[in-house]
Amino acid sequence: MDFTGLSAFAPTPFVDGAPDEAAFRRIVGGLATSGVDSIGALGSTGHYAYLSLEERVRLARAAVQEAGDVPVLVSIGAPATRAVLELADGVQAAGASGVLLAPVSYQRLTRAEVLGLYRDACAELSVPLCLYDNPGTTGFTFDDELYAQIAALSPVASVKIPGVPLGPGEAAARVAQLRGVLPAGVSIGVSGDQSAAAGLLAGCDAWYSVIAGSLPGPALRLARAGLAGDAEATRAADAAFSWLWALFTRRGSARVAAAVATQLGLGTDFLPRPLLPLGEAEQAEVAEAIAALEAAVGER
């Protein structure tokens, strides 16, 4: 799997509290024909942490089947190493092209524990791994030395960073700093969709995108411009998302992404309980943001 370009993370639909596999298959199938470079299954906004191991492996298999020739990256994060290893075996058997691992835990992890987790996981992998740094969810913050130690493990092919400084000089300096500590061939992917434009223009190799899971067309426009280094086109494409980015910042990506997917008719529910959807006023804001995006770019 080539960890570059636009990776669209599919939302997971639910019905009566259980994953709606039929709707999930339709979403992944649509992404497979959209032109995205890879498909992320069961990421943070795919709510992997709320699913059983059996459900996760079943949906991973469904994603691979619907994706066709498009590589599928599947999250294997779990609080216990034993579960991580079971998931690694299961999603590899399902045909995943790569795995994504964040250091998820109920107890706050130490640096040594995180390094041990990745060592244990990598020992079981025959597909490449993407390190996922998501401090807002995991409560753990990587330092650059730990990035380097984990990236030196043979299956590690990419680092998914939580974002970059929005100033172009600071963003470029941060990406250059990471290049200086990571092994050659390990890609840098930006997440936190609000900082995608800054990260791509700063030299990130990939955009691991939440919004591309529901709106791949406009996301591809932004990704292609950013990867080509076209600052003017990148900023124009990013500006079209400005309302959605503001909502992401204010309400978090999980609930806003769920509202987007629901309003686009991709499913009826995208939040496992106890998570609740946005209120009516914020739902209306999401609808306005989608309409503004479509008006700006002429596509969904």
Reported as a single tens digit per residue, the pLDDT across 20-76 is 999 999 999 999 999 999 999 999 999 999 999 999 999 999 999 999 999 999 999
The confidence band for 299, taking pLDDT boundaries of 50, 70 and 90, is low
CATH of 5-228, one of 3.30.390.30, 3.20.20.70, 1.10.3720.10, 2.60.40.1180: 3.20.20.70
Residue 298: what pLDDT?
Answer: 75
DSSP letter string over 220-280?
A: HHHHHHHHTT-HHHHHHHHHHTHHHHHHHHHH-HHHHHHHHHHHTTS-S----TT--PPPH
Long-range contacts of 81-90, Cβ-Cβ distance < 8 Å, separation of 24 or more: 81/116, 81/117, 81/120, 81/121, 83/53, 84/117, 84/120, 84/121, 85/120, 85/121, 85/124, 86/53, 87/53, 87/56, 87/57, 88/121, 88/124, 88/125, 89/124, 90/53, 90/56, 90/57, 90/60
The confidence band for 297, taking pLDDT boundaries of 50, 70 and 90, is confident
Where exactly are the structural domains of the chain?
Answer: 5-228
Residue 168: what pLDDT?
Answer: 82
Instruction: Measure the CA–CA gap between 182 and 189, rounded to whole angstroms.
Output: 13
The confidence band for 161, taking pLDDT boundaries of 50, 70 and 90, is very high
- Number of alpha carbons in the 13 Å side-chain half-sphere of residue 231: 5
Task: Specify the pTM.
Answer: 0.96
pLDDT in tens, 265-285: 999 999 999 999 999 999 999
Q: What is the mean pLDDT of residues 4-9?
A: 98
Which of these, 7, 44, 28, 43, lies nearest to 188 by C-alpha position? 7
pLDDT higher than 70, residue 13: yes
Q: Compute the mean pLDDT over every residue in the chain, rounded to the nearest whole number.
A: 96
